[in-house]
């Protein structure tokens, strides 16, 4: 079968989907980010030595933590939303509302995390 990509990534991203499309993109970004982060982290710890600590030092930097926290929290909270809606498809009718609820849950938690990271970073 002659498979091909129909629409380039950049064109696709310009499509004016609304909230739900954004969550899809961020979820993917989060999953991908985490997978890369965890792989490198495990390998780094396994290998150890200079290379290992080089990477692990990056991870412990507060700016990096803000990013990875975003990935993890968003992916986890959004993933829970997806799981719930997928297992009870009737609820998918209210997907839009579910996305609002999700942001309402995500923002305070992530906000707190960022706050703590920054204060710790400044304090320490």
Partner 1 sequence: MQITLKIFRYNPEVDSTFHYETYTLEGEETDRVLDLLEKVKGYNDGTLSFRRSCAHGVCGSDALRINGRNYLACKVLVRDIGTNITVEPILGMKIIKDLIVDMEPFFENYKKVLPWFINDSPLPADGKERLQSPEQRAIFDEGTKCILCACCTTSCPSFWASDDYLGPAALVTAHRFIFDSRDEAASERMEIVSETSGLARCHTAFNCTLACPREIPITKLIGELKIATITGKIE
Partner 2 sequence: MATKSKSLPLTKRGLNFEMLMWIFTRLSALAMYALILFAIIGALVMGARNQMNLADVLRWGFMPNNTHVLSTDVPDLAPWATPFWRFVASALVLVATAHGVHGLVVIADDYIVSPRGRSIVRFISIVFMLAMIGIGVYVIWTA
> Interface residues with ligand HEM (CB under 6 A)?
27-28, 31-32, 34-35, 38, 75-76, 79-80, 82-83
Buried b (16+ CB within 10 A) or exposed e, 18-32: eeeeebeebbeebee
Q: Which option in partner 2, ligand HEM, partner 1, none does residue 95 bind, with CB closer than 5 to 8 A by kind?
A: partner 1
Q: Which does 46 bind (CB under 5 to 8 A by kind): partner 1, partner 2, ligand HEM, none?
A: partner 2
Distance of CA 37 to the CA centre of its chain: 11
- Residues in region 23-42 near partner 1 by CB under 8 A: 24, 27-28
**77: contact with partner 1 by CB under 8 A:** no
| Minimum gap (Å) between residue 12 Cβ and ligand HEM | 13
- Cα separations (Å) of 2 from 5, 8, 51, 66, 118? 10, 17, 43, 42, 51
């Amino acid at each position: 079968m002659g498979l091909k990509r129909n629409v380039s990534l950049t064109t696709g991203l310009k499509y004016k989907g609304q909230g739900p499309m954004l969550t899809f993109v961020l979820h993917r970004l989060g999953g991908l980010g985490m997978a890369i982060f965890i792989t490198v982290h495990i390998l780094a710890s396994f290998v150890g030595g200079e290379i290992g600590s080089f990477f692990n030092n990056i991870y412990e930097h507060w700016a990096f933590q803000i990013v990875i926290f975003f990935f993890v929290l968003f992916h986890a909270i959004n993933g829970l939303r997806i799981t719930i809606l997928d297992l009870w498809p009737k609820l998918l009718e209210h997907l839009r509302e579910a996305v609002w609820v999700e942001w309402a849950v995500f923002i305070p938690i992530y906000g707190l995390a960022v706050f703590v990271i920054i204060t710790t970073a400044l304090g320490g």
